[in-house]
Structure 1
Amino acid sequence: MTGGPARVLWLAKGLGRGGAEQLLVNCARHVDRSRFAVEVAYVLPHKDALVPALRAADVPVHCLGAAPGRRWPLRLRALLAERRFDLVHTHMPVPAVAARLLAGRRKLVHTEHNLWERYRLPTRWANALTYRRNDAVIAVSHAVAAGIGRRRPDDGWLTVVHHGPDLGGAPAGPAARRAARAELGLPDDALVIGTVGNLTAKKDQASLLTAFALLRRTRPDARLVLVGAGPLEARLRELAGDGVLFAGSRGDVPALLPGWDVFCLSSRQEGLPVALMEAMTTGLPSVVTRVGGMPEVLDDGVEGRLVPPGDPAGLAAALGGLAADPGLRERMGAAARERSKAFDVAGAQRAIERVYARVLAR
Structure 2
Amino acid sequence: MSGRRRVLWLAKGLGRGGAEQLLLNCARHADTDRYEIEVAYVLPHKDALVPALEAAGVRVHCLGGPPGALWPLRLRRLLADRRYDLVHSHMPIPAVAARLAAFGRRAPRLVHTEHNIWERYRTATRWANALTYRRNDAVIAVSHAVAATIGRRRPEGDWVTVVHHGPDLAGAPAGAAARAAARAELGLPQDAVVVGTVGNLTAKKDQATLLAAFERVRRDHPSAALVLIGSGPLEAELKARAGEGVVFAGSRSDVPALLPGLDVFTLSSRQEGLPVALMEAMTSGLPSVVTRVGGMPEVLDDGEQGLLVPPGAPAALAAALGRLAGDAPLRARLGAAAGERARTFDTAGAQQTIEQVYDRVLAR
Range class of TM-score, shorter chain? over 0.9
Decide whether the 8 Å contact of 2:207 with 2:238 is kept in 1.
yes
1:73 and 2:72 correspond: yes
- Please, which runs of 5 or more residues in structure 2 have no aligned partner? none
Decide whether the 8 Å contact of 2:86 with 2:109 is kept in 1.
yes
Aligned to 1:349: 351
- Partner residue of 2:209 out of 187, 190, 207: 207
- Partner residue of 1:272 out of 271, 274, 277: 274
In 2: Cα distance, 1:96 partner to 1:195 partner: 29
SS at match of 2:343: helix
Aligned to 2:199: 197
In 2: Cα distance, 1:265 partner to 1:347 partner: 26
Deviation, structure 1 residue 159: 0.4
SS at match of 1:270: coil
What amino acid is aligned across from residue 14 of structure 1 in structure 2? G
What amino acid is aligned across from residue 132 of structure 1 in structure 2? R
In 2: Cα distance, 1:301 partner to 1:186 partner: 28
Q: Closer, same or farther in 2 for the Cα pair 1:320/1:174, shift >3 Å?
A: same
What amino acid is aligned across from residue 28 of structure 1 in structure 2? A
In 2: Cα distance, 1:153 partner to 1:163 partner: 23
1:251 and 2:253 correspond: yes
Deviations 1:331-357 (A, max 9, x none): 000000000000000000000000000
Decide whether the 8 Å contact of 2:151 with 2:160 is kept in 1.
no
Q: How does 1:21-170 map to 2 (within 5 A)?
A: 21-66=20-65, 68=67, 71-104=70-103, 105-170=107-172
Deviation, structure 1 residue 155: 1.2
What amino acid is aligned across from residue 336 of structure 2 in structure 1? A
SS at match of 1:186: coil
What amino acid is aligned across from residue 318 of structure 1 in structure 2? A
Decide whether the 8 Å contact of 2:83 with 2:108 is kept in 1.
no
TM-score (norm 2): 0.98
What amino acid is aligned across from residue 305 of structure 2 in structure 1? E
Q: Closer, same or farther in 2 for the Cα pair 1:308/1:73, shift >3 Å?
A: same
Q: How does 1:6-17 map to 2 (within 5 A)?
A: 6-17=5-16
Deviations 1:117-163 (A, max 9, x none): 11000000000000000000000000000011222242100000000
Aligned to 1:316: 318
Q: Closer, same or farther in 2 for the Cα pair 1:25/1:325, shift >3 Å?
A: same
SS at match of 1:34: coil
Identity of aligned residues (%): 77
1:331 and 2:333 correspond: yes
What amino acid is aligned across from residue 332 of structure 1 in structure 2? L
In 2: Cα distance, 1:266 partner to 1:283 partner: 19
Aligned to 2:4: 5
In 2: Cα distance, 1:109 partner to 1:229 partner: 30
Deviation, structure 1 residue 69: 7.2
Decide whether the 8 Å contact of 2:267 with 2:290 is kept in 1.
yes
In 1: Cα distance, 2:274 partner to 2:267 partner: 12
Deviation, structure 1 residue 92: 0.6
Aligned to 1:290: 292
Aligned to 1:173: 175
What amino acid is aligned across from residue 282 of structure 2 in structure 1? M
What amino acid is aligned across from residue 110 of structure 1 in structure 2? H
Deviation, structure 1 residue 106: 1.3
Deviation, structure 1 residue 214: 0.1
What amino acid is aligned across from residue 50 of structure 1 in structure 2? L
In 2: Cα distance, 1:177 partner to 1:39 partner: 37
Deviations 1:90-137 (A, max 9, x none): 001001000000112310000000011110000000000000000000
In 1: Cα distance, 2:52 partner to 2:257 partner: 16
Corresponding pairs, count: 361
Q: Closer, same or farther in 2 for the Cα pair 1:171/1:152, shift >3 Å?
A: same
SS at match of 1:109: strand
In 2: Cα distance, 1:257 partner to 1:358 partner: 38
In 2: Cα distance, 1:124 partner to 1:69 partner: 22
- Please, which runs of 5 or more residues in structure 1 have no aligned partner? none
Deviations 1:217-257 (A, max 9, x none): 01011000000000001110111000000000000000000
In 1: Cα distance, 2:90 partner to 2:69 partner: 22
Aligned to 1:232: 234
In 2: Cα distance, 1:281 partner to 1:198 partner: 20
SS at match of 2:212: helix
SS at match of 2:239: helix
Runs of 4 or more consecutive aligned structure 1 residues displaced over 4 Å after TM superposition: 67-70
TM-score (norm 1): 0.98
